[in-house]
A and B are shown apart, each in its own frame.
Chain A
Amino acid sequence: MNTETNTIRILTVDDHALLRGGVAALIELEPDMEVVAEASTGREAIEQFRRHRPDITLMDLQMPDITGIEAIIAIRSEFPEARIVVLTTYAGDVQVVRALKAGARGYLLKGNVHTDLLETIRTVHAGKKRIPPEVAAELAMHTTEDELTARELEILKLIAQGNANKEIAAQLSVREDTVKSHVGNILDKLGANDRTHAVTIGLKRGIIEL
């Protein structure tokens, strides 16, 4: 811990200034913690971490340059002890699993920041993990399901961009039939009725992002 007092030193990473401001306003009131730096992109987050070595990093997942997950991996490869809390809008199980695999210690939904932020910071700072109950429930629900393969994930992303099978086939340089069979597998694995449904499920579970 890189601090002479007992104050918890915090880095806030989010590309929305309003949200960073809100988080700062909440933390400001707490005598045992302070925001030492803010970052609006993933690269900036890595830089600021190197400079400030915060005790806790609040990390948004969707950012303009590199994703929050990539930033977590980068920071943890340099500072394995880094305690990072994911700060996101969605409770999708797949995204949670990715974040936890990357080394996040806590998970915080933006909609719950106002009630859960301080407690989460203190819990993670104390060396424990914290995952909100609704996220845990979401995780438990899908543990037995097959994960999408990398190809299937790629195709689901292209579907979400409004591409037809033919277009997807052209972009991936495969036959349209191949795409069709992949799409069939995606629908099966996600339990979706059609493409639109698959995209909706994909978004909900954090398999793909907006």
Chain B
Amino acid sequence: MHSRRWNRQALAQHPEGISRFDPKTETFRNYDVSDGLQSNDFSDGCYQAPDGEVFFGASDGFTGFYPERIRDNSYVPPVVITSFKLFNKTLPIGGNSVLQKSISYVDSLTLSHRDSVFSFEFAALSYANSHKNRYRYKLENFERGWNEVGSKQRLATYTNLDPGKYLFRVQGSNSDGVWNEKGVALSIVVTPPWWKTNWFRALCAGIVLTMLWAAYRFRFGQLQREFDMRLEGRVEERMRVARELHDTLLQSFQASLIQMQAARNNFSRRPEEAAKGLNRAIEMAAGAVAEGRSAIQNLRAEPTSKRDLAEVLTDAVQEIAQSAEAPVNPPVLRVRMEGERKELQPVLQDEIYRLARELLRNAFRHAQAGRIEVEIRYETRQLRLHVRDDGKGIDPGILQAGGRAGHFGLPGMRERANRLGGKLEFWSEAGAGTEAVLTVPATVAYGGSNGGRFSFLRRKKAGS
């Protein structure tokens, strides 16, 4: 390969034609047969005549030219998009088609998300050496750089575009590398499917927000109910304590006081009688102290929920048997269990325990029974708790009237049973003992300790 320095540019011949190097831009411009050379296959012979004409030798002769007379093609070619294809098929124009006129005259296209494969063909309208025209295209908002292609690849294909707005741009150059920088642009809108539309998203967001709000309201209501229940439970608790004090401590002390007064009145006249009266008063006061102690024990009794119901009831039975309220011939107490033990809802277990203990104490104190038996039955459909005695029985009249609060406390206990979602029934005949049966349905009793069931219980309690 030979080269000639000429006019601060260099020419070189080689087997592919002749190249000109411009040191200013550091670019080569290649010339070949299509530019008028007689052949591409140059040898290394060359010559410059005194008038400036340059000769390059090739296999079929030589090519001579004046370098300063070589002009680049300065024509800026218009660029057009010549065709648009969906799924590699040309579309008809008009009708239901995406194209209402020829693609060359369209400057925006709206496609559905289903039009997942589409392509454009384009051309620069420069016919001199058109095979040397070059092109570059890009889809703005999809790709950053230009795709530069030759004249044989005048096709751009895009697949599976996300919904959105795009701008397809093509630039072309003529055979001498003169670019139409403006090129042609076509805006494309790919419409989203309904599930990707904004209104659908807004709807989803709305639904989610509504659900969150509902959950919040639900929880708020739950807490409110809990709070109310605690408040109402407090009233009930206070009433219970007041009643207990009234029925035990107060009565004993009042009686004791009267006995003391009687003894005092008797003191001068019949000192022995008076001493007997004082003894009675002392006994009563001692009884009152014992009652007070047991009332306090009940009040501070630990929550029972951590242990088995049968276990805590056995403890209660022992406590009652040893208490000061024992009658002269204390009955034999027994706790039995039937069926496979199931986990009980903690709050519920505590309630059941309290009810059972009260039933037991009533029987122990008032029934004049020889035997009292507690039976816990874990049945599939319900939990049942029986408290039976073989005592004197409850007078049917009292049973019917519901008994008096504080003495038999039947209405109170029935209500408590109802409130925890169960029911309490009494069977009694004079002289034939009493049986109290507490029934709690399985859904309430064995609810488990997860929140949902728990709240179910609460609703049950609050709503009954």
Contacts and interface: CB of A to CB of B under 8 A. Distances in A.
A29 B266 CA distance: 7
B265 A161 contact: no
B272 interface: no
B463 interface: yes
A162 B236 contact: yes
A167 B398 CA distance: 26
A19 interface: yes
A21 interface: yes
Given A22-B262, A26-B258, A29-B265, A199 B238 contact: yes
A196 B238 contact: yes
Contacts of A29: 262, 265-266, 269
Interface stretch (B249-257, B303-311, B441-449): B249-257
A95 to B, nearest CB: 14
A interface, over-half SS: helix
Contact of A113 (B232, B238, B258, B405): B258
Nearest to B277: A25
Interface string B236-267: 11110011001000111011111111110110
Contacts of A167: 419, 462-464
A161 B237 CA distance: 9
Give the size range of A's interface with the partner.
Answer: 35 or more
Given A26-B261, A114-B261, A64 B235 contact: no
Contacts of A160: 235, 239
Given A63-B404, A64-B408, A16 B255 contact: yes
A65 B404 contact: yes
The B contact surface, by secondary structure, is helix
A166 B463 contact: yes
A131 B339 CA distance: 61
B464 A114 contact: no
Interface string A100-134: 00000000001101110100000000000000000
A16 B406 CA distance: 12
A25 B236 CA distance: 37
A19 B403 contact: no
A22, A160, A210, most chain B CB atoms within 10 A: A22
Contact of A26 (B262, B398, B463): B262
A25 B258 contact: yes
Contacts of B404: 62-65
A181 interface: no
B81 interface: no
A26 B280 CA distance: 13
B397 interface: yes
B407 interface: yes
Nearest to A197: B235
A54 B285 CA distance: 31
B406 A161 contact: no
A53 B463 CA distance: 51
A110 B239 contact: no
B401 interface: yes
Contacts of A62: 404, 406
A18 interface: yes
B150 interface: no
Nearest to B464: A167
B234 interface: yes
Interface of B: 228-229, 231-239, 242-243, 246, 250-252, 254-263, 265-266, 269, 277, 280, 284, 397-398, 401, 403-408, 412, 415, 419, 462-464
Q: Nearest 4 pairs between A and B by C-beta?
A: A162-B236, A22-B258, A114-B261, A18-B255
